[in-house]
Structure 1
Amino acid sequence: MTLQEISDKLEINELLARYCHALGQKDWGAFQAVFLPDATLDFTAFGGPKGSPRELQDFFTPILNGLASTQHTVSTVKIDLAADGATVRSTAIVPMTAKSPEGKESTFVSGLWYEDTFQRTKEGWKIKSRKQVRSWAGNMA
């Protein structure tokens, strides 16, 4: 691997981490910053929309605001670099905890794959397209 390839792969991994932290902190500016403005996101695998980063933000906001906590993790990242960008496949595990008015917590967790295309810009790597691929889902005891 060349130094440029190593650098590209580190930058892409960093961007994936920034995406997770942006969702966890409900930092919508940081969320928008990981995508190209005209990116296409397909979250239909779990009943979400297919649309722009702004449309996904509008979808996520009331869901995340209604939860007691959520955590988004990405791992098992496979990056294929090309002259015009990169294709990336990663695993995500997303636990989401709701709290009843009585204080009882219940956690739903989902496992999925992200299939992404990335593009290098003058500001660094950005996600050009993202598709969720459902793997599994269930309630934690």
Structure 2
Amino acid sequence: MLSQQEISDRFEIQDLVYRYAELIDGKRFDALRDTVFTADAHIDYSAMGGSVGDLEETLKFLKAALTDELFPASQHLNANVQVTLDGDSASGRVMCFNPMHMSMPDGSSQVYFIGLWYVDEYKRTENGWRISRREEEKSWVFNTPDFMDL
């Protein structure tokens, strides 16, 4: 049976995962610094063609890659949040279904879909749980624009 602390930790980590998705889809990238990641976080988006690096490199990448002009809308639906607790640290695996609405070079638009997993490490900080490491693991893509290599 789980203790009250373990139940609380699991809910806090689940909320953290959902907050990440909300901030990404809302393009409020700087808020990731204060409410989602640790200052020394390592983020690896390379499975889907993105950056690998520390938090500041990741924020720079997100701001350049996910502009309103290129991606007017996206949704990161997270599910199957699996968490293994170990005191003030934890690990997790999170399923993500990610439709992306993309503006095409000819003026049209296209929606494509990505299925991926986030493989995470979490740390309890004085401000609550934060992601200290996140790595994307590709599952599938559908309807990807011809010029993209995912």
Letter in 2 for 1:55: E
Query: Is 1:62 equivalent to 2:64 in the alignment?
Result: yes
Q: Name the TM-score, length of structure 2 as normaliser.
A: 0.87
**1:117 correspondence with 2:147:** no
How far the C-alpha of 1:84 sits from its partner, in A, is 3.8
CA contact (8 A) 1:92 1:113 kept: yes
Specify the alignment match of 2:76 in structure 1: 72
- Find out whether 1:92 has 2:93 as its counterpart: no
Does the alignment pair 1:43 with 2:45? yes
Letter of the 1:21 counterpart: E
Q: Percent identical across equivalent pairs?
A: 35
Deviates more, 1:29-38 or 1:124-133: 29-38
RMSD: 1.6
Aligned match of 1:136: 140
Residue 10 of structure 1 corresponds to which residue in structure 2?
11
Specify whether residues 102 and 49 from structure 1 end up closer, same or farther in structure 2 by C-alpha distance, changes over 3 A only.
closer
TM-score, structure 1 normalization: 0.92
Report SS of the residue matched to 2:50: coil
Moved over 2 A (4+): 99-105
**Structure 2 gap ranges (5+):** 145-150
Amino acid at match of 1:124: G
Structure 1: state its 5+ residue gaps.
none
Query: Hey, what does 2:29 align to over in structure 1?
Result: 28
Secondary structure in structure 1 of the residue aligned to 2:83: strand
* 1:40-83 CA distance string (max 9 Å, x none): 01111111111012211211212221212111111101000002
| Aligned residues of 2:29 and 2:62 also touching (Cα < 8 A) | no
How many residue pairs were aligned? 140
